[in-house]
Amino acid sequence: MKHRAEVRINLEALAYNIAHVKGDSKADLLAVVKANAYGHGLLPVAEAALAAGVTWLGTALLEEALELRKGGITAPLIAWLTPIGEDFESAINLNIDLSVPSIAILHEISAASQKLGKRARVHIEVDTGMTRGGLLEEWQQFLGILPTAHVDVVGFWTHFARADEQLSDYTQIQINGFEQMLVDLQGAGFTPQYIHYANSAATLLRVGTDQNILRVGIAMYGLSPDLGFMGTSAGLGLKPVMSIAAKLHLVKQVPAGSPVGYGGTAITEKNTILGVVPMGYADGIPRNATSLTGVTHNGNRAPIIGRLSMDQFVVDLGPDSTAQAGDEVLVISESGYTADDWAIASSTINYEIVTRIAARVPRISV
C-alpha cells in the first residue's frame, strides 16, 4: 500500500447486502447515502448502489444531494434535513425531492416553486413517536394550508424510533398513527404515490416491507442496526463494506514496566514488542477505545496499549512478533477487529465508527 492508511470499500459486498436486505420484497430500495455514504464515499457508493438495483437515493443534507447531481446522478433523489434558508431553488431545478416537516418549510419551498414557475416534489414527514423531525401539533393547520401550496405531494413518510426492538409494540403504535395521518392527508385531497417508513432494522425484520419504498442505510454497509437487540453484523448475514489498513510507523522492543502514551496510563507487564500505527483521533479513531480492540498483523491480534493520540496509537504486538516497520496492519477487517468490536471498545455504535473516519484517509474501491 502506498498510503500511511487507507479505507478500503468492497463494492461487491455492497451489492450483496442490497440483495440480501431486499429479499423478496417488491418495494423499491432507497439507498441512504448521507454523511458521505456513512463514511464510505458518496459518489462511488451511490453509483454502485444504483448498479446493484437500488432505485432511489436519500441524503440528509441538501448539499449532499446537490453533489450527487453535480456528479452526474440522475436517479430519484430526496433530501430530508433542509432548514429554513436552504437553496430550495437549486433543488427544484435539479429535480431533487424535498421533505416537508413543518408549515414554515412548506412556505419556503412553495415560495421557491412559485418564483421558478415549477412545482416542487415533496414528501410530507410526520412525527409518529420519534419526537424529532416531522409534523405533529401543526398537523391539522398544515392540512388546511397544503392545498394552497405550490407543490406536488408525491410522498408520505415517518421514521421509526425502536424498530430494532423486536419485542416492543412501539413500532406498531407508530404505524397505527401513521396510517391515521395518511387517512387525514387523503381526506384533504392528497394521495401520495410513495409511502415509506421502513428503515434498515424494520426491513431486516420484514416490518413495513409492504410499502413501496424501503429506506436502507446501515445494513447496506454490512453493519447491524443494533448489536444489543439484533445481534452482530455477521449474525445478520451481512458483509462489511469498509475495512481499514495502515502501515506500521515504528516497531520497537521495550522492557517490562514501560509506561506507554500520554499520562502513562498503561504499563507493559513483560518484555514485548510495540508497534506505532499512524492513525489517531484526527483520523476518526475513537480516543476512548480500549484494549478490547486494536489491529491485526498477519492474522495475529495486537491490542491497543496506552492512550490514543491525535495522529497515532500504540499496539502490543507481543514478544514473539515478527512485525517490521512498514508492514501492513488491519485496523478494521471482517476477520480481525470489526466495526462492531470498535464500537463495543469505545462505548458507542458501529454507525459512529464508520461515519467518523476523516476525509484525510483515502477511500479505495476494491
Tell me the per-residue pLDDT of 85-100, one tens digit each, with 9 for 90 and over: 999 999 999 999 999 9
* 239 in catalytic set: no
Tell me the per-residue pLDDT of 217-273, one tens digit each, with 9 for 90 and over: 999 999 999 999 999 999 999 999 999 999 999 999 999 999 999 999 999 999 999
Q: Examine residue 237 and state whether it is found in any structural domain, yes or no.
A: no
Q: What does the alpha-carbon distance between residue 51 and residue 306 come to, in Å, rounded to a whole number?
A: 44
Q: From 206, 232, 258, give the residue that closes a domain.
A: 232
CATH of residue 162's domain is 3.20.20.10
pLDDT at 183: 98
Same domain, 149 and 86: yes
- What are the residues facing 167 on neighbouring strands? none
CB 313 within 8 A of CB 280: yes
Same domain, 217 and 263: no
pTM of structure: 0.95
pLDDT at 94: 98
Tell me the per-residue pLDDT of 277-303, one tens digit each, with 9 for 90 and over: 999 999 999 999 999 999 999 999 999
Tell me how far apart the terminal alpha carbons of the chain are, to the nearest angstrom: 13
Q: Which of 34, 194, 221, 239 is catalytic?
A: 34
Same domain, 225 and 247: no
Q: From 195, 213, 232, give the residue that closes a domain.
A: 232
CATH of residue 262's domain is 2.40.37.10
Same domain, 212 and 310: no
Domain extent for 126? 11-232
pLDDT over 90 (residue 166): no
Same domain, 252 and 352: yes
* 2 in catalytic set: no
Same domain, 19 and 43: yes
CA dihedral for 158, 161, 163, 167, sign (positive or negative):
negative
Q: Which of 70, 115, 252, 262 is catalytic?
A: 262
Q: Examine residue 5 and state whether it is found in any structural domain, yes or no.
A: no
Q: What does the alpha-carbon distance between residue 261 and residue 258 come to, in Å, rounded to a whole number?
A: 10
pLDDT over 90 (residue 176): yes
Three-state DSSP state, 245: strand
Q: Examine residue 4 and state whether it is found in any structural domain, yes or no.
A: no
CB 356 within 8 A of CB 313: no
Tell me the per-residue pLDDT of 193-208, one tens digit each, with 9 for 90 and over: 999 999 999 999 998 7
Same domain, 205 and 277: no
Same domain, 97 and 61: yes
Same domain, 75 and 119: yes
Q: Examine residue 1 and state whether it is found in any structural domain, yes or no.
A: no
Helix ranges, the chain (H) = 11-22, 34-38, 42-51, 62-70, 88-93, 103-116, 139-145, 170-187, 200-204, 227-230, 339-345, 350-355
Say how many domains are in the chain. 2
Same domain, 157 and 55: yes
Same domain, 312 and 226: no
Same domain, 216 and 334: no
